[in-house]
């Protein structure tokens, strides 16, 4: 709170009614100078630790009453130095780092990175079909789990706790599938340059079919619960409006862009990993608000189920097919399996490597510890993540480690829309606007 001719007056707001705050401030200003304030302004820090700011996002809000006159984002509270750390690890080890950026969609982080490495190596066409199908399968499962979290946390923040419990209930099913296929629920490092870490385990296809059948029954429950709920609709309709011109000016992609009616989806416009061979629809809406983004995510989960079903059918015809490129100078061992102790490689695999020849053992050791060289050059490869365009810009100087790895994360770019969507609205609408773009701060700060 400031006065035109006075020193700044500090006001501590502890949850009182706004009229009480304004009256108290006027009394204090009268006591100091006998003057009446020319403008009432309160600056509020929301976060970085706040249940409604999606992780460690800090919002600096300037308020006049309940109306937001200025909104700014303060970021950097989750900085991990992942991009710099990748410069000191081999190209394959880089997957272990980038999978931790956007921790709600790790497979997309891995995909954009390995697709870039493969393009630098000029082996894009050599990646086995089964590996490409497994990548599509995992990414679409990941899209479902990420959208479930977006809808669940967004519902929680506006008081729809049933939506939250339902969303996390279904997400657990997806994480169980991830654990079955990769051994981990998150931070998988499963997609590798040249393919994937290992083949599908026995029984995985049956588990996937069971999941698809169950989700086809449960997803309509979300629509029935939310779309017909007048309270839910009123909290989202017309809130956080950002039209096509605003999205293109700020570089905003993903559900916020498609909610304006513009069908931009990299799986269709710039296909990768064989997406051009799958049957699915690009979902759009025409309201450009928080409700439209919710509906886009809801319908996209249905399309992801279609893609998962098609991938499962293809994998059923590829039993026993390779999942890693044939070039042994590049191929990270993909026939690994877990031993009875739950750690390391199976004894059968270790016996095979050590029993073939000393040269085979030396090659295995050097490939894992030193990595492989990548021809000099640079590349940018984008993928359509749950939040929009996620791209990896990779630079190689011809060595066995990245010279530079930089990621274009959609959460970072989409946060630019915070001010446009929030200013002029109320404090409660800020929460809805932020939730509707679904930022993940691990991807913002990296």
Per-residue confidence (pLDDT) for residue 426, from 0 to 100: 84
Rounded Cα distance between 188 and 109, Å, is 10
Per-residue confidence (pLDDT) for residue 4, from 0 to 100: 46
Residues facing 377 on adjacent strands: 396
Residues facing 67 on adjacent strands: 64, 426
Place of tokens 């000029």: 122
What the block records as the tokens of 330 is 């590049």
Residue 140 contacts residue 174 (beta carbons within 8 Å): no
Residue 365 contacts residue 242 (beta carbons within 8 Å): no
Q: Which residues contact 210 (CB under 8 A, 6 or more apart)?
A: none
DSSP 198: B
Phi, psi of 368 (to 5 degrees): -75, -40
* List of E strands, 254-387: 377-385
In order of their start, the domains of the chain are: 18-74 (no CATH), 82-331+341-445 (1.10.645.10)
Cα torsion angle, 133, 267, 444, 114, sign: positive
Per-residue confidence (pLDDT) for residue 40, from 0 to 100: 66
What the block records as the tokens of 284 is 């759009």
Residue 71 contacts residue 430 (beta carbons within 8 Å): yes
Longest dimension (CA), the chain: 93
Rounded Cα distance between 70 and 48, Å, is 17
Q: For every one of its 446 residues, what pLDDT tens digit does the chain have, with 9 covering 90 and above?
A: 444 455 566 666 655 666 676 677 677 666 655 554 555 678 878 777 666 666 788 888 888 878 888 888 888 888 888 999 999 998 888 899 989 888 899 999 999 999 999 999 999 898 999 999 999 999 999 999 999 988 888 877 777 777 888 888 889 999 999 988 888 888 888 899 988 988 888 888 999 999 999 998 888 887 777 777 778 788 888 888 888 988 898 889 989 999 999 999 999 999 999 999 999 999 999 888 888 898 899 899 999 999 999 999 999 988 888 888 888 888 876 555 555 555 555 666 667 666 666 777 777 777 788 888 889 999 999 999 999 999 999 999 999 899 999 999 998 999 888 888 888 888 888 888 888 888 888 888 87
Residue 223 contacts residue 233 (beta carbons within 8 Å): no
Cα–Cα nearest to 332, from 359, 370, 376, 380: 370
194 torsion bin: left (phi>0), alpha (psi -120 to 50), beta (else): left
HSE value, Cβ hemisphere, 13 Å, CA-based, for 114 = 32
Rounded Cα distance between 99 and 214, Å, is 28
Angle at 163 between CA 162 and CA 165, to 5 degrees: 65
Q: Would you call 5 helix, strand, or coil by DSSP?
A: coil
Residues facing 198 on adjacent strands: 335
pTM to 2 decimal places: 0.84
């Amino acid at each position: 709170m400031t006065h035109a001719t006075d020193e700044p007056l500090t006001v501590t707001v502890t949850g009182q009614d706004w009229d009480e705050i304004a009256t108290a401030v006027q009394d204090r200003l009268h006591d100091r100078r006998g003057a009446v304030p020319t403008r009432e302004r309160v600056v509020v820090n929301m976060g970085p630790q706040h249940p409604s700011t999606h992780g460690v996002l800090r919002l600096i809000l300037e308020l006049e009453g309940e109306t937001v006159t200025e909104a700014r984002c303060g970021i950097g509270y989750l900085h991990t130095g992942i991009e710099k750390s990748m410069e000191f690890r081999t190209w394959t080890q880089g997957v272990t780092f980038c999978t931790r950026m956007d921790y709600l969609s790790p497979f997309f982080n891995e995909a954009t990175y390995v697709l870039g490495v493969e393009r630098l190596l000029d082996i894009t066409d050599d990646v086995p079909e089964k590996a490409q199908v497994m990548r599509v399968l995992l990414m679409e499962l990941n899209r479902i789990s990420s959208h479930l979290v977006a809808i669940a946390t967004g519902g929680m923040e506006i008081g729809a706790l049933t939506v939250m419990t339902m969303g996390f209930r279904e997400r657990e099913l997806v994480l169980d599938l991830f654990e079955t296929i990769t051994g981990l629920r998150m931070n998988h490092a499963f997609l590798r340059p040249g393919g994937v870490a290992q083949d599908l385990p026995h029984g995985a296809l049956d588990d996937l079919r069971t999941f698809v059948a169950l989700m086809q029954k449960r997803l309509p429950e979300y629509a029935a619960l939310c779309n017909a709920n007048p309270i839910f609709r009123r909290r989202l309709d017309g809130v956080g409006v950002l039209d096509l011109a605003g999205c293109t000016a700020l570089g905003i992609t993903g559900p916020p862009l498609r909610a304006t009616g513009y069908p931009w989806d990299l799986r269709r416009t710039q296909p990768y990993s064989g997406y051009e061979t799958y049957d699915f629809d690009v979902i759009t809406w025409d309201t450009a608000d928080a409700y439209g983004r919710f509906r886009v995510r809801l319908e996209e989960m249905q399309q992801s189920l279609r893609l998962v079903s098609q991938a499962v059918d293809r994998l059923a015809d590829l039993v026993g097919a390779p999942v890693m490129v044939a070039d042994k100078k590049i191929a990270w061992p993909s026939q690994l399996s877990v031993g009875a102790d739950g750690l390391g490689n199976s004894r059968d695999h270790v016996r095979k490597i050590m029993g073939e020849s000393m040269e085979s053992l030396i090659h295995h050791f050097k490939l894992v510890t030193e990595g492989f060289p990548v021809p000099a050059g640079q590349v940018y490869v984008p993928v359509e993540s749950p939040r929009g365009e996620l791209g990896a810009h990779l630079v190689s100087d011809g060595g066995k480690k990245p010279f530079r790895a930089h990621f274009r994360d959609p959460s970072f770019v989409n946060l630019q829309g915070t001010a446009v969507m929030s200013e002029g609205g109320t404090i409660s609408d800020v929460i809805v606007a932020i939730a509707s773009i679904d930022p993940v701060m691990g991807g913002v700060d990296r």
